Amino acid sequence: MARTEVVAMILAGGQGSRLGVLTKTVAKPAVPFGSRYRIIDFPLSNCVNSGIEIVGVLTQYQPLALNTYVGNGHPWDLDRNNAGAYILPPFQSNSGSDWYKGTANAIYQNMSFIDDNDPEYVVILSGDHIYKMDYAAMLKAHIEKNADATIAVYEVPWDEAPRFGILNTKDDDVIEEFEEKPANPKSNLASMGVYIFTWSVLRQALIEDEANPNSNNDFGKNIVPNLLAQGKKLCAYRFAGYWKDVGTISSLWETNMDILDKPEEINLVDRSWKIFSRNPVKPSHFIGSGAKVKNSALTDGCRIFGDVEHSVLSESVIVEKGAIVKDCVLMPGVVVKEGAHIERCVIDQGTVIGKDVQAGSFVEGEGPYTNHKICSEGICVFERGLTIKEGAVIPKNSMIDSDLEVPEDCKIIESKFRA
C-alpha cells in the first residue's frame, strides 16, 4: 500500500460554553443540527468526500455522546481495515497524565498516533462550523505553493472582522501576520479554523511550543505566530462557499434557518457531496389531517398534527393538534403538546412542552430564566429531557436550565428525565 498522504485531526474536545444548556452534557460537535445531523457530521463528511480516510477525533469535554455517535465510524465509511475514525481521548502514560491544555497540546499529545500513520501532511479541523469543503483541493494548493502551512480563510464583512482571527496577507496570499480579533483589522480574511500542515514542520513546532511554559498551546495564538516568526511559508487558501460558525445560540438558530431560507447555499441534497450521519431507525414522517406544514425541514419519525411554520425538526418530534410551532429548532424526540405556542425556541432532545405553554420571542417581559448572556434576538433555549408544566409562560430570551434556582411559584419544570 502507498504511504499515507494525509491524516485529519478534528478538535472536538471543546465545551462550547456559549451554547449554554445545549452543551451541558454533550460536547459542541455532538449538538444536533439541521434536522438530520450533528455538527461533527460536516467535518467528518468533508473528510470522507475529500478522500481522507484516517480521521482522529480528539475528545475531552463530556465525550460520551460524541464517542457513541462517532462509534466505529461506519456511517461515514470510516470503518476501513487500515484506516477509519479514531476517538482520541486524553490518556495516562509513564510520564504522567494531562488533560488537553489547548488545541496544539491536544495534537502534541497524540503525536504518536500521527507518527504511526506516517503522513506527509496533517489537516487540523474544528468541530464547530457548518460548511462543505474539499480539503483535497486545499491540499493541492498547499503542495503547489510549497507551503509549510496553509490556512483556509473566508472573506467576512469588514464590520464583522473584529470578531475573528484575521490573516494579513501579501501577494499570492502568503500570510504576513495573524491577528486575533483585531480592533482595527487590516484585512477581512478570517481564519476558518481549517489548517493543513506539512507534518514534519508541525511536529517540530509542537515540540518547541510544548517546551515553552508560557505558551497557551493554541494554534491561533502560538503555533501560527511562531511559524511566521521563524520565516516559514504560510499561505491563505480562500474559500468562497457557505461557511457558518455555530458557536452561539443565535448563530446556531440562524444557521438552522438558512436550511429553509437559502437551501441552495448549503445544498444538502447534492448527491456528489453528501453529508453523512448516523441514521435513526424510524419510519418516514407522518403529517396528519388538519396539520399545516410550511417552510420547514422534517425527517424520519416526526408526527405532525398541529401547525409548523419556518422550523427545523429533528427525528421523532411530535407536534400535537392545535399546537403552533414557528421559527423553532426542535431536536430529536421533542414533544409539543396540544395548544402550546412556541416561537424562536431551540429545544434540546426529548424535552416535552406541556399543554398550552406559551414560549419564545412573542412573549414580552422578563422572568427568572431570562438570560441575556446566552440568548439574544428573542430566542429561548431549553435543556434536554425536561417536561415543561402545562400553561407555563416563558418570555423571550430565556434559557431553561434545570440547575437554576428559582422561587417556588416561578417553577415551570415539572420533571426531568434521568434527574
Q: Which is nearer to other proteins, 31 or 201 (CB)?
A: 31
Q: Which is nearer to other proteins, 214 or 289 (CB)?
A: 289
Residue 126, number of CB atoms within 10 A of its CB: 22
CB of 194 to other proteins, least distance (A): 23
How many residues bind other proteins (CB under 8 A)? The answer is 37
Q: Does 268 bind other proteins (CB under 8 A)?
A: yes
Rounded Cα distance, 143 and 212, in Å? 30
Q: Is the distance from CB of 255 to CB of 246 less than 8 angstroms?
A: yes
Distance between alpha carbon 315 and the CA centroid of its chain, in Å? 18
Q: Which is nearer to other proteins, 160 or 261 (CB)?
A: 261
Note the helical H segments in 326-382: none
Q: Does 241 bind other proteins (CB under 8 A)?
A: no
Q: Does 306 bind other proteins (CB under 8 A)?
A: no
Please classify residue 335 by burial: count the beta carbons closer than 10 Å to its beta carbon, then call 0-12 exposed, 13-18 middle and 19+ buried. buried
Query: What residues from 118 to 157 belong to the interface with other proteins (CB under 8 A)?
Result: none
Distance between alpha carbon 27 and the CA centroid of its chain, in Å? 9
Residue located via cell numbers 446566552: 374
- Please provide the DSSP assignment of 138-192 as one string: HHHHHHHTT-SEEEEEEE--GGGGGGSEEEEE-GGGBEEEEEES-SS-S--EEEE
Residue located via cell numbers 437551501: 263
Q: Is the distance from CB of 308 to CB of 323 less than 8 angstroms?
A: no
Helix (H) or strand (E) holding 211: helix 199-211
Q: Does 51 bind other proteins (CB under 8 A)?
A: no
Among 279, 366, 393, 411, binds other proteins (CB under 8 A): 279
Residue 22, number of CB atoms within 10 A of its CB: 26
CB of 254 to other proteins, least distance (A): 17
Q: Does 283 bind other proteins (CB under 8 A)?
A: yes
Q: Which is nearer to other proteins, 267 or 370 (CB)?
A: 267
CB of 266 to other proteins, least distance (A): 9
Q: Does 275 bind other proteins (CB under 8 A)?
A: yes
Q: Which stretch binds other proteins (CB under 8 A): 113-121, 266-274, 336-344, 408-416?
A: 266-274
- Please provide the DSSP assignment of 376-390 as one string: -TT-EEE-TTEEEPT
Among 59, 105, 222, 299, binds other proteins (CB under 8 A): 299
Q: Does 292 bind other proteins (CB under 8 A)?
A: yes
Q: Which is nearer to other proteins, 124 or 246 (CB)?
A: 246
Q: Does 350 bind other proteins (CB under 8 A)?
A: no
Q: Does 277 bind other proteins (CB under 8 A)?
A: yes
- Size of the chain in residues: 419
Q: Does 274 bind other proteins (CB under 8 A)?
A: yes
Q: Does 300 bind other proteins (CB under 8 A)?
A: yes
Q: What are the residues binding other proteins (CB under 8 A)?
A: 34-36, 74-75, 259-260, 263, 268-269, 274-277, 279, 281-300, 304, 312
